[in-house]
Structure 1
């Protein structure tokens, strides 16, 4: 009687495992760039789109503050609690480790007690604005995969802007505005991410969700919602990833929206807890940030499954005969067709769009997908420009060659008598055999060794 129960439990666990896998925590699981498989033509490479795993990107950033002397502690300063101006027992002193609050404490491990944090000077120059720019730079293109979360140890700012750059800080665009009163601060109607649609996903909004309220001890975080935007295509539990991948593949503006080289947190007005500023207790007003979370991955154009950090710089470990920090070009001697980024589609392997050796003929148009070893049912295997079906074969939907009775192989290049006892009468060795290309247009001849290279065997 134990066997049916055991089988039932195994089935339940399998169902649970499938359910967990059905709702991934981060988008993108393209972790294998290639593998070897056996086919009728022998051992070949199976090429796939690939990308690095998502990780905590704050481990690799460089932080700068503007103005540079905005951090507290020089000279030492005493601070009061926002909710009680007479409780002034917090001291900041840059010369004492226990009392210093430098910028790097925004990114350290938050498992200690008391919490560590960066802190600004107080609003001692009121009514002049207390404004700070915190710039996070990676010197590398990053794809965001989860919400950006900023945790404040002071009250959350009454006015703030989160900005992004795609060109290493040369130009900036707003990601989101935050205010207790969006109309007053930025002349924008307040809105939440849940009011966005697929058509308005790229709209820049002002939200009051992360600035309202005086109970700041319990509401410390300011968030930029990445996953809620993914959910507009992938569903509320990110179960329809194919829809999201399809949109990212075909819509450059959408890809760029989730891609950054730098982030900038612009703190424009600190929490005051009231409509009026208490000019007699300005040490109540300041900024303090204990944690910044930025989850993402190196952008490698789906040509690498790992990214290394060497000499203070992130760089993709490129596959598919590509090179560059983002795998954004073909290697030397592998420019047989124009470089193209990999594709998420078709699910689940995507299309690798590998760079081909130079000696395979003229450069192909950039919108042609990969050779088809990885996804033979979807990718281009034969066409009228270079990979012509041989020995009378007919190219069918650019996906396969329909060979005449006496021939086989990817491009109908092999006589079927190969491998039979005695081989093909009068044939030379495979490495010396030349296969003429049919058709009126003269094209370079393909040797068997080149064909083997096409199939990834070399």
Structure 2
């Protein structure tokens, strides 16, 4: 298979942070009651006594210890203000989840909480899943479960009531984020068809990123309250307590490393294929002969390494024959082609210069790959064109090169609006101006400006379709006749 580190328990490598910082019980010491028996209040939390303290790191120690160890929050003393606690888990690098996230609560499971993830070390967050006893009331979402998902909805963010409605908390104390149920949509039951799953991870947009993160955040919004309303006289029985976090996955090395190591408290990939970086996310200096790409699972079962190639030389620069020299840019950590020929441009001479467009019949390495746009300077807005060679035309112009006029315009150093007399009148009803002097009218229109409907023989009087006032039009026609007579064009 394509090289990648083995999956492992990732809680060994994370750092944990609480917000607000004073969310942990024990300062000052406090007595707690149990949810199922509000009169049993003999659980003390005291941060000064190791046997009675419940710090956050006890979420990460092994299960099965007797007595059980767990982190515990302060009680809900500020009620009715919400008891809000954010638990942030950070790895310092990208990881890929491979199994379900399982959170074991020592208290009742929260009635409202959100699991979130970050891909940029906590700068931005996005929800992974919502949990509530009543999804519609809590988050305005219809309840769904992971079993409702289908291949087309595998990336959906859902709200589930499955883990928040039960009150037998000693028997039902885990909350899950189902990873493997989503994997099974492509790999089949029990993930027997891993080749199909890996193929989907390679070809389905955003699927691999969905299971990738640098940080997780658990937002605890409302503790378990049991089947009755909150008792304001006994708030010591409402709190959060987590005894274990089970998060399994692998370092994300973009399929360029088989191993991930912990050095100086930080995880990093042992990069291969001439790659470097925390996640093997770029080519080494001197190996920018072609753009960096993540490794591929395909073809299965071998995969494709997409090795970074040495810089220098026409082939290694990957300039498609349009340049024979590369320059390494430290700022971009990559090499770019210098002095692209044949009217090309771009990091790899893969684009056309402004004023040229891609020749659809030529390969990228052909010397005639870019053709001149040849936009008419009088009819186009500028000399550039789109990828198909069409120019941006001025008003009235048309055609791929903007060298023709639309109806109602005529060509004179560009397309000018057609007028048919000295009064700048325009032909109506689809008429076309000829020689800037008379209108050629389509059927059934007639008149000097195509403003009338042609009368049929024997039909009653025809009514003009022109929006122009008929009286004013008769006056204009009379003025036109007088001008003709005055100029001597018709003998009296």
Separation in structure 2 between the aligned mates of residue 113 and residue 52 of structure 1, nearest angstrom: 34
Structure 2 equivalent of residue 113 of structure 1: 66
TM-score by length of 2: 0.64
SS in 1 for 2:34: coil
Equivalent position to 1:192, from 132, 135, 145: 145
Separation in structure 2 between the aligned mates of residue 129 and residue 75 of structure 1, nearest angstrom: 20
The question of 1:59 aligning with 2:12 is answered yes
Structure 1 equivalent of residue 55 of structure 2: 102
The question of 1:69 aligning with 2:22 is answered yes
Separation in structure 1 between the aligned mates of residue 281 and residue 167 of structure 2, nearest angstrom: 49
CA contact (8 A) 2:46 2:53 kept: yes
Structure 1 equivalent of residue 220 of structure 2: 267
Counterpart mapping for 1:96-245 below 5 A? 96-245=49-198
Equivalent position to 1:364, from 301, 309, 318: 318
Structure 1, residues 44-89: CA drift from partner, whole Å, max 9, x if none?
Answer: xxxxx30000011111111110110010000000000101111011
CA contact (8 A) 2:5 2:259 kept: yes
Equivalent position to 1:294, from 247, 256, 260: 247
SS in 2 for 1:261: strand
CA contact (8 A) 1:191 1:207 kept: yes
Separation in structure 2 between the aligned mates of residue 364 and residue 353 of structure 1, nearest angstrom: 14
Give 1:274 deviation, angstroms.
2.3
Which shows bigger deviation, 149-158 or 305-314? 305-314
CA contact (8 A) 2:107 2:242 kept: yes
Give 1:212 deviation, angstroms.
1.4
SS in 2 for 1:86: coil
Structural RMSD (CA): 1.6
Separation in structure 1 between the aligned mates of residue 316 and residue 110 of structure 2, nearest angstrom: 59
Structure 2 equivalent of residue 340 of structure 1: 293
- Runs of 4+ in structure 1 deviating by more than 3 angstroms, as ranges, are none
Give 1:440 deviation, angstroms.
10
Give 1:359 deviation, angstroms.
3.8
Whose RCO is larger (CA < 8 A, sep 6+)? 1
Separation in structure 1 between the aligned mates of residue 49 and residue 262 of structure 2, nearest angstrom: 32
Structure 2 equivalent of residue 248 of structure 1: 201
Structure 1 equivalent of residue 273 of structure 2: 320
SS in 2 for 1:267: strand
CA contact (8 A) 1:153 1:288 kept: yes
Higher Cα Rg, which structure: 2
SS in 2 for 1:141: strand
CA contact (8 A) 2:310 2:316 kept: no
Which shows bigger deviation, 329-338 or 58-67? 329-338
Structure 1, residues 72-127: CA drift from partner, whole Å, max 9, x if none?
Answer: 00000000010111101100000000000000000011231011000000001110
Structure 1 equivalent of residue 433 of structure 2: none
CA contact (8 A) 2:225 2:238 kept: yes
CA contact (8 A) 1:338 1:365 kept: no
Give 1:362 deviation, angstroms.
4.0
Structure 2 equivalent of residue 84 of structure 1: 37
Which shows bigger deviation, 245-254 or 305-314? 245-254
SS in 2 for 1:243: helix
Separation in structure 1 between the aligned mates of residue 91 and residue 216 of structure 2, nearest angstrom: 9
Separation in structure 1 between the aligned mates of residue 248 and residue 35 of structure 2, nearest angstrom: 31
Separation in structure 2 between the aligned mates of residue 275 and residue 67 of structure 1, nearest angstrom: 28
Gaps of 5+ in 1: 1-29, 31-48, 367-438, 442-458
Separation in structure 2 between the aligned mates of residue 341 and residue 169 of structure 1, nearest angstrom: 23
CA contact (8 A) 2:97 2:211 kept: yes
Give 1:241 deviation, angstroms.
1.5
CA contact (8 A) 2:59 2:71 kept: yes
Separation in structure 1 between the aligned mates of residue 157 and residue 169 of structure 2, nearest angstrom: 26
Equivalent position to 2:282, from 326, 329, 335: 329
CA contact (8 A) 2:58 2:243 kept: yes
Counterpart mapping for 1:21-36 below 5 A? 30=1
Structure 1, residues 161-192: CA drift from partner, whole Å, max 9, x if none?
Answer: 00001111111111001011111111111111
Give 1:236 deviation, angstroms.
1.2
TM-score by length of 1: 0.69
- Equivalent residue pairs, number: 322
